[in-house]
Structure 1
Protein backbone atom coordinates (compact mmCIF):
# COMPACT_ATOMS: atom_id res chain seq x y z
CA UNK A 1 0.00 0.00 0.00
CA UNK A 2 1.36 3.40 -0.98
CA UNK A 3 1.99 6.00 1.70
CA UNK A 4 -0.83 8.29 0.54
CA UNK A 5 -3.35 5.43 0.49
CA UNK A 6 -2.25 4.29 3.94
CA UNK A 7 -2.52 7.84 5.28
CA UNK A 8 -5.96 8.30 3.74
CA UNK A 9 -7.18 5.07 5.30
CA UNK A 10 -5.86 5.98 8.74
CA UNK A 11 -7.40 9.44 8.51
CA UNK A 12 -10.78 8.04 7.47
CA UNK A 13 -10.64 5.72 10.48
CA UNK A 14 -10.50 8.78 12.76
CA UNK A 15 -12.77 11.10 10.76
CA UNK A 16 -15.89 10.52 12.87
CA UNK A 17 -13.93 11.15 16.06
CA UNK A 18 -12.41 14.35 14.66
CA UNK A 19 -15.84 15.49 13.45
CA UNK A 20 -17.24 14.86 16.92
CA UNK A 21 -14.45 16.83 18.60
CA UNK A 22 -14.75 19.74 16.17
CA UNK A 23 -18.53 19.77 16.36
CA UNK A 24 -18.62 20.01 20.13
CA UNK A 25 -16.09 22.82 20.03
CA UNK A 26 -17.77 24.81 17.26
CA UNK A 27 -21.47 23.89 17.54
CA UNK A 28 -21.82 23.77 13.77
CA UNK A 29 -21.58 20.77 11.46
CA UNK A 30 -20.43 22.83 8.49
CA UNK A 31 -17.67 24.53 10.50
CA UNK A 32 -16.69 21.17 11.99
CA UNK A 33 -16.35 19.74 8.48
CA UNK A 34 -14.15 22.69 7.52
CA UNK A 35 -11.97 22.06 10.58
CA UNK A 36 -11.61 18.37 9.75
CA UNK A 37 -10.72 19.21 6.14
CA UNK A 38 -8.05 21.65 7.31
CA UNK A 39 -6.69 18.94 9.59
CA UNK A 40 -6.40 16.60 6.59
CA UNK A 41 -4.53 19.26 4.63
CA UNK A 42 -2.10 19.79 7.49
CA UNK A 43 -1.54 16.06 7.76
CA UNK A 44 -0.65 15.92 4.07
CA UNK A 45 1.85 18.75 4.55
CA UNK A 46 3.45 17.10 7.57
CA UNK A 47 6.21 14.53 7.86
CA UNK A 48 3.68 11.86 8.80
CA UNK A 49 6.27 9.10 9.07
CA UNK A 50 7.68 10.87 12.15
CA UNK A 51 4.31 10.90 13.96
CA UNK A 52 4.28 8.23 16.69
CA UNK A 53 0.64 8.61 17.76
CA UNK A 54 -1.41 9.61 14.73
CA UNK A 55 -4.73 9.69 16.58
CA UNK A 56 -3.36 11.99 19.27
CA UNK A 57 -1.65 14.18 16.68
CA UNK A 58 -4.88 14.58 14.68
CA UNK A 59 -6.89 15.42 17.82
CA UNK A 60 -4.34 18.07 18.76
CA UNK A 61 -4.36 19.59 15.27
CA UNK A 62 -8.16 19.69 14.95
CA UNK A 63 -8.35 21.30 18.40
CA UNK A 64 -5.88 24.00 17.37
CA UNK A 65 -7.78 24.60 14.12
CA UNK A 66 -11.00 24.98 16.12
CA UNK A 67 -9.26 27.35 18.53
CA UNK A 68 -8.23 29.57 15.61
CA UNK A 69 -11.78 29.46 14.23
CA UNK A 70 -13.27 30.38 17.61
CA UNK A 71 -10.87 33.30 17.98
CA UNK A 72 -11.78 34.49 14.49
CA UNK A 73 -15.45 34.15 15.38
CA UNK A 74 -14.98 36.21 18.54
CA UNK A 75 -13.19 38.98 16.67
CA UNK A 76 -15.50 38.98 13.67
CA UNK A 77 -19.15 38.42 12.93
CA UNK A 78 -20.61 35.56 14.93
CA UNK A 79 -23.09 33.12 13.46
CA UNK A 80 -26.49 33.58 15.07
CA UNK A 81 -27.84 30.97 17.47
CA UNK A 82 -30.77 30.24 15.14
CA UNK A 83 -28.37 29.52 12.28
CA UNK A 84 -26.29 27.23 14.48
CA UNK A 85 -29.33 25.25 15.64
CA UNK A 86 -30.62 24.99 12.05
CA UNK A 87 -27.26 23.69 10.93
CA UNK A 88 -27.37 21.03 13.61
CA UNK A 89 -30.92 19.78 13.22
CA UNK A 90 -31.25 19.84 9.44
CA UNK A 91 -27.99 18.27 8.30
CA UNK A 92 -29.68 15.02 7.31
CA UNK A 93 -26.96 12.83 8.78
CA UNK A 94 -27.74 9.21 9.60
CA UNK A 95 -24.47 8.75 11.45
CA UNK A 96 -25.07 7.39 15.00
CA UNK A 97 -22.25 9.47 16.49
CA UNK A 98 -23.68 12.62 14.92
CA UNK A 99 -27.12 11.71 16.32
CA UNK A 100 -25.56 11.28 19.76
CA UNK A 101 -23.99 14.72 19.49
CA UNK A 102 -27.36 16.27 18.75
CA UNK A 103 -29.01 14.38 21.58
CA UNK A 104 -26.61 15.16 24.42
CA UNK A 105 -24.64 18.23 23.39
CA UNK A 106 -26.80 20.58 21.39
CA UNK A 107 -29.66 22.79 22.33
CA UNK A 108 -30.29 26.51 22.27
CA UNK A 109 -29.46 26.89 25.97
CA UNK A 110 -26.15 25.02 25.82
CA UNK A 111 -25.10 26.68 22.58
CA UNK A 112 -25.78 30.04 24.15
CA UNK A 113 -23.67 29.21 27.21
CA UNK A 114 -20.80 27.75 25.17
CA UNK A 115 -20.79 30.83 22.98
CA UNK A 116 -20.16 33.03 26.05
CA UNK A 117 -16.96 31.14 26.86
CA UNK A 118 -13.59 32.36 25.71
CA UNK A 119 -12.01 30.17 23.01
CA UNK A 120 -9.51 28.68 25.46
CA UNK A 121 -12.24 27.98 28.05
CA UNK A 122 -14.33 26.21 25.45
CA UNK A 123 -11.43 24.10 24.17
CA UNK A 124 -10.29 23.13 27.69
CA UNK A 125 -13.83 22.22 28.76
CA UNK A 126 -14.68 20.19 25.66
CA UNK A 127 -11.41 18.26 25.54
CA UNK A 128 -11.35 17.45 29.25
CA UNK A 129 -15.00 17.01 30.20
CA UNK A 130 -16.31 15.51 26.97
CA UNK A 131 -13.30 13.68 25.55
CA UNK A 132 -11.33 12.83 28.70
CA UNK A 133 -8.04 14.40 27.64
CA UNK A 134 -5.72 15.16 30.52
CA UNK A 135 -4.71 18.73 31.32
CA UNK A 136 -1.16 17.69 30.53
CA UNK A 137 -2.34 17.01 26.96
CA UNK A 138 -4.58 20.10 26.78
CA UNK A 139 -2.04 22.64 28.07
CA UNK A 140 0.20 22.73 24.96
CA UNK A 141 -2.82 22.83 22.65
CA UNK A 142 -4.02 26.12 24.15
CA UNK A 143 -0.50 27.33 25.05
CA UNK A 144 -1.15 27.45 28.78
CA UNK A 145 0.23 25.76 31.87
CA UNK A 146 -1.57 22.69 33.24
CA UNK A 147 -2.84 24.77 36.17
CA UNK A 148 -4.21 27.43 33.84
CA UNK A 149 -5.87 24.81 31.62
CA UNK A 150 -7.47 23.25 34.70
CA UNK A 151 -8.80 26.61 35.82
CA UNK A 152 -10.15 27.45 32.38
CA UNK A 153 -12.07 24.16 32.28
CA UNK A 154 -13.36 24.71 35.81
CA UNK A 155 -14.54 28.21 34.95
CA UNK A 156 -16.31 26.91 31.85
CA UNK A 157 -17.88 24.05 33.80
CA UNK A 158 -19.37 26.46 36.32
CA UNK A 159 -20.98 28.54 33.63
CA UNK A 160 -22.33 25.49 31.82
CA UNK A 161 -23.87 24.37 35.11
CA UNK A 162 -25.28 27.82 35.76
CA UNK A 163 -22.63 29.03 38.19
CA UNK A 164 -21.13 32.47 38.55
CA UNK A 165 -20.85 34.93 35.69
CA UNK A 166 -17.40 35.46 34.16
CA UNK A 167 -17.00 38.83 35.89
CA UNK A 168 -18.05 37.51 39.30
CA UNK A 169 -15.85 34.46 38.92
CA UNK A 170 -12.87 36.62 37.96
CA UNK A 171 -13.41 38.99 40.89
CA UNK A 172 -13.53 36.10 43.36
CA UNK A 173 -10.34 34.60 41.98
CA UNK A 174 -8.53 37.93 42.23
CA UNK A 175 -9.74 38.34 45.81
CA UNK A 176 -8.47 34.90 46.80
CA UNK A 177 -5.07 35.52 45.17
CA UNK A 178 -4.84 39.00 46.75
CA UNK A 179 -5.59 37.50 50.17
CA UNK A 180 -2.96 34.82 49.55
CA UNK A 181 -0.33 37.44 48.69
CA UNK A 182 -1.23 39.44 51.81
CA UNK A 183 -0.98 36.36 54.03
CA UNK A 184 2.33 35.42 52.41
CA UNK A 185 3.83 38.88 53.02
CA UNK A 186 2.67 38.80 56.65
CA UNK A 187 4.07 35.32 57.16
CA UNK A 188 0.62 34.20 58.35
CA UNK A 189 0.90 30.44 58.01
CA UNK A 190 -2.62 29.62 59.18
CA UNK A 191 -4.20 32.22 56.91
CA UNK A 192 -2.33 30.64 54.01
CA UNK A 193 -3.57 27.19 55.01
CA UNK A 194 -7.19 28.38 54.93
CA UNK A 195 -6.78 29.70 51.39
CA UNK A 196 -5.18 26.53 50.02
CA UNK A 197 -6.93 23.34 48.97
CA UNK A 198 -5.66 20.40 51.07
CA UNK A 199 -4.38 18.67 47.93
CA UNK A 200 -2.85 21.74 46.28
CA UNK A 201 0.04 21.20 43.86
CA UNK A 202 2.89 23.71 43.56
CA UNK A 203 5.04 23.34 40.46
CA UNK A 204 8.18 25.25 39.52
CA UNK A 205 10.26 25.34 36.36
CA UNK A 206 13.99 24.56 36.28
CA UNK A 207 15.01 28.22 36.45
CA UNK A 208 12.90 28.84 39.56
CA UNK A 209 14.29 25.72 41.23
CA UNK A 210 17.89 26.69 40.44
CA UNK A 211 17.57 30.28 41.68
CA UNK A 212 15.61 29.38 44.83
CA UNK A 213 18.16 26.69 45.69
CA UNK A 214 20.97 29.24 45.37
CA UNK A 215 19.06 31.60 47.70
CA UNK A 216 18.18 28.92 50.24
CA UNK A 217 20.84 30.27 52.61
CA UNK A 218 18.70 33.40 53.01
CA UNK A 219 16.05 31.31 54.76
CA UNK A 220 13.43 30.82 52.07
CA UNK A 221 12.62 27.17 51.23
CA UNK A 222 13.74 26.10 47.78
CA UNK A 223 11.19 25.29 45.10
CA UNK A 224 10.96 21.76 43.72
CA UNK A 225 9.48 20.32 40.52
CA UNK A 226 6.38 19.50 42.53
CA UNK A 227 5.33 20.24 46.12
CA UNK A 228 2.00 18.90 47.33
CA UNK A 229 -0.25 19.56 50.31
CA UNK A 230 -1.43 22.77 51.95
CA UNK A 231 1.10 22.63 54.80
CA UNK A 232 4.11 22.23 52.52
CA UNK A 233 2.97 24.92 50.09
CA UNK A 234 2.13 27.36 52.91
CA UNK A 235 5.57 26.76 54.42
CA UNK A 236 7.18 27.46 51.04
CA UNK A 237 5.34 30.77 50.60
CA UNK A 238 5.34 32.03 54.19
CA UNK A 239 7.16 35.38 54.16
CA UNK A 240 7.65 35.17 50.41
CA UNK A 241 6.25 37.22 47.49
CA UNK A 242 6.82 40.51 49.31
CA UNK A 243 6.97 42.53 46.10
CA UNK A 244 4.60 40.47 43.97
CA UNK A 245 1.82 42.31 42.14
CA UNK A 246 -1.66 41.03 41.45
CA UNK A 247 -1.90 40.37 37.71
CA UNK A 248 -3.79 38.58 35.01
CA UNK A 249 -1.48 35.95 33.48
CA UNK A 250 -2.70 34.53 30.18
CA UNK A 251 -6.24 35.39 31.17
CA UNK A 252 -6.22 33.76 34.62
CA UNK A 253 -5.57 35.04 38.13
CA UNK A 254 -1.89 35.42 38.86
CA UNK A 255 0.91 37.46 40.36
CA UNK A 256 4.25 38.70 39.07
CA UNK A 257 7.43 40.26 40.36
CA UNK A 258 9.84 42.19 38.20
CA UNK A 259 12.87 44.46 37.98
CA UNK A 260 13.54 47.39 35.66
CA UNK A 261 10.25 46.90 33.88
CA UNK A 262 10.90 43.22 33.12
CA UNK A 263 8.94 40.34 34.61
CA UNK A 264 11.28 38.06 36.55
CA UNK A 265 8.79 35.55 37.95
CA UNK A 266 5.14 34.73 37.31
CA UNK A 267 2.84 32.84 39.65
CA UNK A 268 -0.14 31.23 37.89
CA UNK A 269 -3.00 30.26 40.20
CA UNK A 270 -5.87 27.81 39.76
CA UNK A 271 -8.78 28.73 42.06
CA UNK A 272 -11.83 26.53 42.57
CA UNK A 273 -14.64 27.25 45.04
CA UNK A 274 -12.56 29.85 46.85
CA UNK A 275 -9.55 27.56 47.33
CA UNK A 276 -6.23 27.64 45.50
CA UNK A 277 -5.79 24.20 43.94
CA UNK A 278 -2.56 24.74 42.00
CA UNK A 279 0.26 27.26 41.62
CA UNK A 280 2.81 27.29 38.79
CA UNK A 281 6.03 29.26 39.32
CA UNK A 282 7.62 30.36 36.05
CA UNK A 283 11.02 32.07 35.79
CA UNK A 284 12.25 30.87 32.41
CA UNK A 285 12.77 34.04 30.36
CA UNK A 286 11.71 32.55 27.03
CA UNK A 287 8.49 31.27 28.56
CA UNK A 288 7.79 34.58 30.31
CA UNK A 289 8.23 36.42 27.02
CA UNK A 290 5.28 34.46 25.60
CA UNK A 291 2.97 35.35 28.50
CA UNK A 292 0.22 37.93 28.23
CA UNK A 293 0.50 39.78 31.56
CA UNK A 294 -1.86 42.53 32.66
CA UNK A 295 -1.49 44.37 35.96
CA UNK A 296 -4.61 44.41 38.15
CA UNK A 297 -5.19 47.51 40.25
CA UNK A 298 -5.89 46.25 43.77
CA UNK A 299 -8.48 49.03 44.06
CA UNK A 300 -10.55 47.35 41.35
CA UNK A 301 -10.83 44.16 43.39
CA UNK A 302 -13.99 44.04 45.46
CA UNK A 303 -12.68 45.27 48.83
CA UNK A 304 -15.52 43.59 50.71
CA UNK A 305 -14.76 40.27 49.08
CA UNK A 306 -11.01 40.70 49.59
CA UNK A 307 -11.41 41.63 53.26
CA UNK A 308 -13.87 38.81 53.86
CA UNK A 309 -11.57 36.29 52.21
CA UNK A 310 -8.56 37.37 54.26
CA UNK A 311 -10.47 37.90 57.52
CA UNK A 312 -12.29 34.58 57.26
CA UNK A 313 -8.95 32.82 57.01
CA UNK A 314 -7.71 34.63 60.13
CA UNK A 315 -10.98 34.05 62.04
CA UNK A 316 -10.88 30.33 61.30
CA UNK A 317 -7.36 30.26 62.69
CA UNK A 318 -8.56 32.00 65.87
CA UNK A 319 -11.56 29.71 66.22
CA UNK A 320 -14.06 32.53 65.60
Structure 2
Protein backbone atom coordinates (compact mmCIF):
# COMPACT_ATOMS: atom_id res chain seq x y z
CA UNK A 1 0.00 0.00 0.00
CA UNK A 2 1.39 3.39 -0.99
CA UNK A 3 1.49 6.37 1.39
CA UNK A 4 -1.36 7.99 -0.56
CA UNK A 5 -3.49 4.85 -0.31
CA UNK A 6 -2.81 4.65 3.43
CA UNK A 7 -3.81 8.29 3.83
CA UNK A 8 -7.03 7.70 1.85
CA UNK A 9 -7.86 4.70 4.05
CA UNK A 10 -7.21 6.71 7.21
CA UNK A 11 -9.33 9.61 5.96
CA UNK A 12 -12.22 7.29 5.04
CA UNK A 13 -12.19 5.94 8.59
CA UNK A 14 -12.97 9.47 9.80
CA UNK A 15 -15.25 10.52 6.95
CA UNK A 16 -18.47 9.88 8.86
CA UNK A 17 -17.23 11.95 11.81
CA UNK A 18 -16.06 14.75 9.52
CA UNK A 19 -19.41 14.77 7.72
CA UNK A 20 -21.20 15.08 11.06
CA UNK A 21 -19.01 18.06 12.00
CA UNK A 22 -19.64 19.74 8.65
CA UNK A 23 -23.40 19.09 8.81
CA UNK A 24 -23.66 20.79 12.21
CA UNK A 25 -21.57 23.73 11.06
CA UNK A 26 -23.20 24.26 7.67
CA UNK A 27 -26.72 22.92 8.27
CA UNK A 28 -26.75 21.28 4.85
CA UNK A 29 -25.92 17.74 3.76
CA UNK A 30 -24.93 18.89 0.27
CA UNK A 31 -22.62 21.64 1.59
CA UNK A 32 -21.18 19.26 4.19
CA UNK A 33 -20.25 16.70 1.52
CA UNK A 34 -18.59 19.46 -0.52
CA UNK A 35 -16.64 20.63 2.53
CA UNK A 36 -15.43 17.11 3.34
CA UNK A 37 -14.31 16.61 -0.25
CA UNK A 38 -12.45 19.94 -0.20
CA UNK A 39 -10.80 18.86 3.05
CA UNK A 40 -9.65 15.61 1.46
CA UNK A 41 -8.03 17.52 -1.40
CA UNK A 42 -6.12 19.65 1.11
CA UNK A 43 -4.91 16.81 3.34
CA UNK A 44 -4.04 14.59 0.37
CA UNK A 45 -1.61 17.23 -0.87
CA UNK A 46 0.02 17.67 2.53
CA UNK A 47 0.05 14.14 3.92
CA UNK A 48 0.07 13.13 7.61
CA UNK A 49 3.61 11.82 8.09
CA UNK A 50 4.32 14.42 10.81
CA UNK A 51 0.78 14.57 12.27
CA UNK A 52 0.39 13.06 15.75
CA UNK A 53 -3.41 13.09 15.79
CA UNK A 54 -4.83 12.66 12.26
CA UNK A 55 -8.47 12.73 13.40
CA UNK A 56 -7.92 15.99 15.26
CA UNK A 57 -6.16 17.51 12.28
CA UNK A 58 -8.85 16.35 9.86
CA UNK A 59 -11.48 17.84 12.18
CA UNK A 60 -9.87 21.27 12.42
CA UNK A 61 -9.21 21.26 8.67
CA UNK A 62 -12.85 20.55 7.81
CA UNK A 63 -13.93 23.12 10.43
CA UNK A 64 -11.69 25.75 8.80
CA UNK A 65 -13.25 24.93 5.42
CA UNK A 66 -16.73 25.30 6.95
CA UNK A 67 -15.78 28.57 8.65
CA UNK A 68 -14.72 30.03 5.30
CA UNK A 69 -18.02 28.91 3.77
CA UNK A 70 -20.07 30.40 6.63
CA UNK A 71 -18.27 33.73 6.27
CA UNK A 72 -18.81 33.73 2.52
CA UNK A 73 -22.49 32.89 3.05
CA UNK A 74 -22.84 35.86 5.38
CA UNK A 75 -21.06 38.16 2.93
CA UNK A 76 -23.47 37.15 0.16
CA UNK A 77 -26.42 37.70 2.48
CA UNK A 78 -25.18 41.20 3.34
CA UNK A 79 -24.78 42.05 -0.33
CA UNK A 80 -28.30 40.82 -1.05
CA UNK A 81 -29.68 42.65 1.98
CA UNK A 82 -31.51 39.48 3.04
CA UNK A 83 -31.29 36.72 5.61
CA UNK A 84 -28.58 34.10 5.51
CA UNK A 85 -28.50 32.22 2.22
CA UNK A 86 -29.26 28.53 2.72
CA UNK A 87 -30.18 25.71 0.36
CA UNK A 88 -33.86 25.31 -0.41
CA UNK A 89 -35.67 22.26 0.96
CA UNK A 90 -36.60 21.30 -2.62
CA UNK A 91 -32.98 21.13 -3.74
CA UNK A 92 -31.43 17.76 -4.74
CA UNK A 93 -31.09 15.51 -1.72
CA UNK A 94 -34.06 17.07 0.11
CA UNK A 95 -35.01 13.75 1.74
CA UNK A 96 -31.53 13.46 3.21
CA UNK A 97 -31.71 17.10 4.30
CA UNK A 98 -34.90 16.35 6.23
CA UNK A 99 -33.33 13.28 7.83
CA UNK A 100 -30.34 15.36 8.90
CA UNK A 101 -32.62 18.06 10.36
CA UNK A 102 -34.50 15.42 12.34
CA UNK A 103 -31.33 13.86 13.72
CA UNK A 104 -29.67 17.16 14.64
CA UNK A 105 -32.89 18.92 15.65
CA UNK A 106 -34.74 21.49 13.58
CA UNK A 107 -34.80 23.99 16.41
CA UNK A 108 -31.05 23.64 16.93
CA UNK A 109 -30.35 24.26 13.24
CA UNK A 110 -32.54 27.38 13.36
CA UNK A 111 -30.70 28.71 16.42
CA UNK A 112 -27.26 27.88 15.00
CA UNK A 113 -28.13 29.88 11.87
CA UNK A 114 -28.47 32.96 14.10
CA UNK A 115 -24.93 32.71 15.49
CA UNK A 116 -21.91 34.41 13.98
CA UNK A 117 -19.60 32.02 12.08
CA UNK A 118 -17.01 32.19 14.89
CA UNK A 119 -19.63 31.53 17.59
CA UNK A 120 -21.07 28.64 15.64
CA UNK A 121 -17.66 27.03 15.13
CA UNK A 122 -16.60 27.50 18.78
CA UNK A 123 -19.89 26.14 20.15
CA UNK A 124 -20.28 23.17 17.80
CA UNK A 125 -16.66 22.03 17.99
CA UNK A 126 -16.46 22.26 21.77
CA UNK A 127 -19.95 21.31 22.94
CA UNK A 128 -20.80 18.71 20.29
CA UNK A 129 -17.38 17.26 19.45
CA UNK A 130 -15.22 18.03 22.53
CA UNK A 131 -12.50 19.83 20.55
CA UNK A 132 -10.14 21.58 23.02
CA UNK A 133 -10.31 25.36 23.17
CA UNK A 134 -6.61 25.60 22.33
CA UNK A 135 -7.33 23.98 18.95
CA UNK A 136 -10.45 26.12 18.40
CA UNK A 137 -8.43 29.25 19.25
CA UNK A 138 -5.78 28.38 16.65
CA UNK A 139 -8.49 27.75 14.06
CA UNK A 140 -10.22 31.09 14.74
CA UNK A 141 -6.98 33.02 15.22
CA UNK A 142 -8.08 33.98 18.75
CA UNK A 143 -6.81 33.35 22.25
CA UNK A 144 -8.18 30.30 24.10
CA UNK A 145 -9.97 32.68 26.47
CA UNK A 146 -11.62 34.46 23.55
CA UNK A 147 -12.67 31.10 22.09
CA UNK A 148 -14.25 30.17 25.43
CA UNK A 149 -16.19 33.45 25.46
CA UNK A 150 -17.46 32.82 21.93
CA UNK A 151 -18.70 29.36 22.92
CA UNK A 152 -20.26 30.74 26.11
CA UNK A 153 -22.16 33.46 24.25
CA UNK A 154 -23.33 30.93 21.69
CA UNK A 155 -24.43 28.58 24.49
CA UNK A 156 -26.51 31.37 26.02
CA UNK A 157 -28.21 32.01 22.69
CA UNK A 158 -28.86 28.32 22.09
CA UNK A 159 -30.22 27.48 25.54
CA UNK A 160 -31.40 30.87 26.79
CA UNK A 161 -29.39 32.89 29.28
CA UNK A 162 -32.12 34.18 31.60
CA UNK A 163 -34.16 31.49 33.43
CA UNK A 164 -36.92 34.01 34.26
CA UNK A 165 -37.65 34.36 30.55
CA UNK A 166 -38.22 30.64 30.03
CA UNK A 167 -41.58 28.85 30.15
CA UNK A 168 -42.32 26.33 32.88
CA UNK A 169 -41.88 22.61 32.30
CA UNK A 170 -45.69 22.31 32.40
CA UNK A 171 -46.04 24.81 29.55
CA UNK A 172 -43.41 23.01 27.49
CA UNK A 173 -45.23 19.71 28.03
CA UNK A 174 -48.49 21.30 26.89
CA UNK A 175 -46.68 22.52 23.76
CA UNK A 176 -45.44 18.96 23.12
CA UNK A 177 -48.96 17.62 23.53
CA UNK A 178 -50.28 20.32 21.19
CA UNK A 179 -47.67 19.45 18.55
CA UNK A 180 -48.18 15.69 18.81
CA UNK A 181 -51.97 16.04 18.59
CA UNK A 182 -51.62 18.35 15.56
CA UNK A 183 -49.25 15.94 13.82
CA UNK A 184 -51.47 12.91 14.47
CA UNK A 185 -54.77 14.65 13.82
CA UNK A 186 -55.90 13.80 17.36
CA UNK A 187 -58.74 16.29 17.61
CA UNK A 188 -59.91 15.11 21.04
CA UNK A 189 -56.44 15.66 22.52
CA UNK A 190 -56.33 19.14 20.99
CA UNK A 191 -59.71 20.08 22.45
CA UNK A 192 -58.51 18.94 25.87
CA UNK A 193 -55.65 21.44 26.03
CA UNK A 194 -57.30 24.38 24.24
CA UNK A 195 -59.19 27.11 26.06
CA UNK A 196 -62.77 27.05 24.71
CA UNK A 197 -62.29 30.67 23.60
CA UNK A 198 -58.76 30.21 22.23
CA UNK A 199 -57.69 32.83 19.66
CA UNK A 200 -55.66 31.87 16.61
CA UNK A 201 -53.80 34.63 14.78
CA UNK A 202 -51.78 34.10 11.62
CA UNK A 203 -49.69 36.32 9.36
CA UNK A 204 -51.43 36.88 6.03
CA UNK A 205 -48.33 35.71 4.15
CA UNK A 206 -49.01 32.15 5.34
CA UNK A 207 -52.67 31.82 4.29
CA UNK A 208 -54.91 32.63 1.38
CA UNK A 209 -57.42 35.44 1.32
CA UNK A 210 -60.25 33.00 2.08
CA UNK A 211 -58.77 32.22 5.53
CA UNK A 212 -59.24 34.87 8.25
CA UNK A 213 -56.12 36.10 10.03
CA UNK A 214 -57.93 35.75 13.36
CA UNK A 215 -60.12 32.88 14.47
CA UNK A 216 -61.79 32.34 17.84
CA UNK A 217 -62.99 29.12 19.45
CA UNK A 218 -61.45 25.72 20.20
CA UNK A 219 -63.78 23.75 17.94
CA UNK A 220 -63.24 26.19 15.08
CA UNK A 221 -59.47 25.88 15.43
CA UNK A 222 -59.58 22.07 15.67
CA UNK A 223 -61.65 21.89 12.50
CA UNK A 224 -59.18 24.16 10.70
CA UNK A 225 -56.16 22.21 12.00
CA UNK A 226 -57.08 19.21 9.83
CA UNK A 227 -55.69 21.14 6.85
CA UNK A 228 -52.29 21.64 8.45
CA UNK A 229 -51.42 18.20 9.89
CA UNK A 230 -48.79 17.63 7.19
CA UNK A 231 -47.14 20.99 7.90
CA UNK A 232 -47.05 20.21 11.63
CA UNK A 233 -44.92 17.12 10.95
CA UNK A 234 -42.00 19.46 10.30
CA UNK A 235 -42.36 21.01 13.78
CA UNK A 236 -40.34 20.89 16.96
CA UNK A 237 -41.01 22.41 20.38
CA UNK A 238 -38.82 25.41 21.24
CA UNK A 239 -38.82 28.57 23.36
CA UNK A 240 -39.98 31.64 21.42
CA UNK A 241 -39.53 35.05 23.02
CA UNK A 242 -39.76 33.39 26.42
CA UNK A 243 -42.96 31.48 25.58
CA UNK A 244 -43.48 27.81 24.83
CA UNK A 245 -43.85 27.42 21.10
CA UNK A 246 -43.19 25.40 17.98
CA UNK A 247 -40.66 25.84 15.20
CA UNK A 248 -41.73 24.67 11.74
CA UNK A 249 -38.48 24.13 9.89
CA UNK A 250 -38.58 21.51 7.12
CA UNK A 251 -35.03 20.45 6.31
CA UNK A 252 -33.91 22.83 9.04
CA UNK A 253 -35.06 25.91 7.11
CA UNK A 254 -37.25 28.18 9.26
CA UNK A 255 -40.68 28.74 7.71
CA UNK A 256 -43.11 29.32 10.59
CA UNK A 257 -43.22 29.89 14.35
CA UNK A 258 -46.19 29.16 16.60
CA UNK A 259 -46.11 31.03 19.90
CA UNK A 260 -48.45 29.56 22.49
CA UNK A 261 -49.85 31.68 25.30
CA UNK A 262 -50.84 29.20 28.05
CA UNK A 263 -53.04 30.12 31.00
CA UNK A 264 -54.48 27.85 33.69
CA UNK A 265 -53.15 24.78 31.91
CA UNK A 266 -54.76 25.55 28.54
CA UNK A 267 -53.64 27.25 25.33
CA UNK A 268 -55.44 30.60 25.15
CA UNK A 269 -53.61 32.20 22.19
CA UNK A 270 -51.88 30.69 19.14
CA UNK A 271 -49.81 33.30 17.29
CA UNK A 272 -48.61 31.88 13.95
CA UNK A 273 -45.68 33.85 12.56
CA UNK A 274 -44.56 33.69 8.95
CA UNK A 275 -43.72 37.31 8.13
CA UNK A 276 -39.96 37.42 7.34
CA UNK A 277 -39.32 40.44 9.58
CA UNK A 278 -41.13 38.83 12.52
CA UNK A 279 -39.29 35.56 11.99
CA UNK A 280 -35.95 37.35 11.94
CA UNK A 281 -36.64 39.29 15.13
CA UNK A 282 -38.00 36.38 17.19
CA UNK A 283 -35.75 35.03 19.95
CA UNK A 284 -35.54 31.25 19.50
CA UNK A 285 -33.86 28.94 22.02
CA UNK A 286 -34.00 25.21 22.69
CA UNK A 287 -36.71 23.78 24.89
CA UNK A 288 -34.37 21.27 26.57
TM-score by length of 2: 0.50
Structure having greater relative contact order (Cα 8 Å, sep ≥ 6): 2
Normalising to structure 1: TM-score of the pair?
0.45
